[in-house]
A and B are shown apart, each in its own frame.
Chain A
């Protein structure tokens, strides 16, 4: 399936609001990607205004995105992002905190580490200008969001990729992406550490309009198939729930301690329980700008931590990246590849055919033998 992608950065924004740096030399970045289907459009909004947020909205084909930039950039951002016709479905994922915890006992678990912990509140970070690359031939675009921290030019980066076709990423973990999803990569490079045994963890928040009897779920899906991500037999699906309309964020419990994503660099990603109840949606975020505070909202938060026992902590490579897919619909499930099916068919078929033919051959031979050579006493 291939969908046409429409991509634009800071749509309808005036020069002075969006093209120039703010006072703290940060930039306001908002990307709008629209994928048109048969009778609907999926809008992806990705922005660093406030906390880095994905907003995924499904609308009718003709529906237009409308942004009130002045309101969006003010403290009264509620309902500053709207559509020309009422959207059919929307959900948002916001990255709220990056935790750094000390793990002197080398547990790889943020709860059992029981030592120092500190955090970066992502909505207070200031971000560089978008690095935006669109390749309309390949029907894809990538947007990276960079934040430099520390003396060693350490950085925290979000890299987004949108595709108009169904395929798999070239590098491990070879996540499956579709035209109904975007790929997101979180990258920590030479990031400054505070502790001797520092590890990082990420908090994210999912929000949507509350629907009766539809709840957000966190599912660990086990699969026999690790051919795309060797050694990883699980996928985590963080889903907005819902029968007809749903969105998801899904990932494999693996991150990489090196940019080349070799198998030696893979580290486990631990997912913690879903937190429900009272959840604060960052006022500075496009999640708040779209959903506002009037509606009855459902929101949950989730923590994931990077690294495992015995991996030498973050400082062993000073690098970490993690990949996830965010999209509309149901989370993609890996299918057995043709190779597997072919080998198994041949492996079972060939010996069986031989058995059968051989049995007939031997049977015939015995019968002929008896007829040709009658017993002699």
Chain B
């Protein structure tokens, strides 16, 4: 499927614009344009500022499309959370049944986090892949809404399953598009913007779905599950927008490819599942931290609205606003904290701090009546801190060529944990209430803390240097470079192989990981945006 190949170039002499010269197994790795595209003359209106693929205005249009691409899936992802009360009442489901709507989203991604990016690379290609995933998202949401309208809860669950199948992979596609178009120019900003738009989508959902639901009730004179179904159909409009964006992106991308005569890159490495057996204890500690920390964040946010309403007497809109704060803060704080962790080093220390602070936030909400606004804001910061400090650490304990698998496993375990715990949380609330739920989360955080402390001990014991300061790391890098030079001199022609021994920074490892999941990143891709990568990648 040559048309699905991206517009990436490694050698200026190749031209496969319209002749289908690309073979299906072609892959992309780097994005370097062959000619200065803006210098290319295009006759007719195609050459105007808006339509010329090389001009900034056209790229800006693409940026808008990319941002809107993710909006739909984020908007609809949290539909259940925004309408929790109404949904439970209209469909007469228990809290645990309600939470299963989130599990049905998470379950497919226990596996798909391995394959989503890979399929994008090897089977569909970016353009068709994006459209396919957008279709999954749209159909998923339509089935979900239909299920509500017909009062068939199982149909709603099926819809969430379909929706989840597309949702996570769509995020990968979005990043890939960003890289192909903005690499070497405004990529950092684009990643930041995409995340912000995603958060805006999530927040908009939290604030809009309630009024939309009420409006549907008034305008169509419906109530119960029919009112809910119609409201969800309205939410599906955002997924239609996603599909339109996917189609437009595919069209423009293809067009740019044709006009600018772009070439292909080289093959990326595949993930080997057998690498798993070589992973060390430190890695499994990181997995435990990862899963036990995130289950204390996301399932909590899923149940947050009701908690703030019933314990703190918040109105629905206030409860939604407080619930959304973690997302908003993480959008702003992630790049800043990522920057900070990069400058200071000492990843494990930051992880431990993040866990302890999060415990404090949960304890505050569990044992006091202090306004949860404060606790949720701090939790947003500690969550961002953990995300920035934890994920790069994997790169220090896992060999370079196994990184993709390692991240895949970690992501899978995390998704598995989130799916199971989301169900458990629902039944905990039903049977034991919110205090026990908070204590349950505190228990998970305590486990994360134990794992983090053990990781620190393993690190000190085995000299893995995970917790080096930035200065210490720089010294280590220098030392390795010295060794490398010595080897280079000794080995002569074999010097190239020394590349494998090159010391790695946080963002280098992250880039390696991202590139394996399908997001192609340039060498200069940096830490600030990497911390911003969407839920599908870094959670």
Query: Residues of A contacting B85 with CB < 8 Å?
Result: 310
What are 17 A-B residue pairs whose CB atoms fall within 8 Å in the complex? A222-B369, A224-B366, A226-B435, A232-B310, A264-B88, A264-B92, A264-B93, A310-B85, A340-B435, A343-B440, A346-B443, A347-B445, A351-B449, A351-B450, A354-B454, A358-B456, A362-B457
List A contacts of B429 (CB < 8 A): 230-231, 263
Q: List chain B residues, Cβ under 8 A from A348.
A: 446
**Do residues B369 and A224 form an inter-chain contact, with CB atoms below 8 A?**
yes
A171 at the interface (CB under 8 A from B): no
* Min CB–CB distance A238 → chain B (angstroms): 20
- Is A224's CB under 8 angstroms from B446's CB? no
Residues 350-401 of B contacting A (Cβ, < 8 Å): 359, 366-369
Complex: chain A residue closest to B445, CB-CB: A347
Of all chain A residues, which has the CB nearest B96?
A: A263
Interface 1/0s, chain A 292-336, versus B by CB < 8 A? 000000000000000000111000000000000000000000000
What separation, in Å, do the CA atoms of A262 and B94 have in the docked complex? 8
Give chain A residues whose Cβ lies under 8 Å from the Cβ of B435: 224-227, 340
Q: A225-B433, A358-B454, A365-B461 are in contact. List 6 more A-B contacts (CB 8 A).
A: A226-B435, A231-B306, A262-B94, A264-B89, A354-B454, A358-B453
- Does B95 lie at the interface of the complex (its beta carbon under 8 Å from any beta carbon of A)? yes
Instruction: Note all chain A residues with C-beta closer than 8 A to B86.
Output: 310
* A231 & B433 in contact (Cβ 8 Å cutoff): yes
Q: How large is the interface on B (under 10, 10 to 19, 20 to 34, 35 or more residues)?
A: 35 or more
| Chain B proximity of A370: nearest CB distance (Å) | 14
Q: Is B442 an interface residue (CB 8 A)?
A: yes
A225 to B436, CA, bound (A): 8
Closest-by-CB residue of A relative to B430 is A263
Residue interface bits A346-369, CB-to-B below 8 A is 1, else 0: 111011001100100110010000
Which residues of A188-202 have CB atoms within 8 Å of chain B's CB atoms? none
* Nearest A residue (CB) for B356: A351
A115 to chain B minimum Cβ distance, whole angstroms, is 20
Give the interface centre of A230, A339, A343, A355 by most chain B CB atoms within 10 Å: A230
Interface size class of A (residues with CB under 8 A): 20 to 34
Query: Once the chains bind, are A344 and B368 in contact (CB under 8 Å)?
Result: no
Chain A contacts of B368 at CB under 8 A?
224
Cβ contacts under 8 Å, A361 to chain B: 457
Asked if B439 lies at the interface with its beta carbon under 8 angstroms from chain A, I say: yes
Residues of B within 8 A of A365 (CB): 460-461
Minimum Cβ distance to chain A for residue B278 (Å): 26
> For A89, what are the chain B residues with a Cβ–Cβ distance below 8 Å?
none
From A225, A312, A351, name the one whose CB has the most chain B CB atoms within 10 angstroms.
A351
Residue of A with least CB distance to B363 = A344
Known A-B contacts A231-B310, A264-B93, A339-B436; A354 and B430 likewise in contact (beta carbons under 8 Å) = no
A355 with B439, Cβ < 8 A, contacts A230-B430, A231-B433 known: no
The 9 closest A-B pairs by CB, nearest first: A347-B446, A230-B433, A226-B433, A351-B449, A231-B310, A354-B453, A227-B433, A358-B457, A233-B311
Q: Which of B85-143 contact A (CB under 8 A)?
A: 85-86, 88-89, 92-95
Any B CB within 8 A of the CB of A229: yes
Interface hits, B66-94 → A, CB 8 Å: 85-86, 88-89, 92-94
B100 to chain A, nearest CB (A): 15
By a CB distance below 8 angstroms, the chain B residues around A310 are 85-86, 89
A263 to B98: give the CA distance in the assembly, Å.
Answer: 12
A228, CB-defined interface residue at 8 Å = yes
Which residue from chain B places its CB closest to the CB of A349 in the assembled complex?
B446
- B25 interface residue, CB < 8 Å from A? no
Closest to B214 in A: A310
Q: Is B161 an interface residue (CB 8 A)?
A: no
Are A354's CB and B450's CB within 8 A?
A: yes
Residue of B nearest to A366 (CB): B460
Q: How many Å lie between the Cα of A91 and that of B306 in the bound state? A: 39
Query: CB-CB < 8 A to B461: which residues of A?
Result: 365
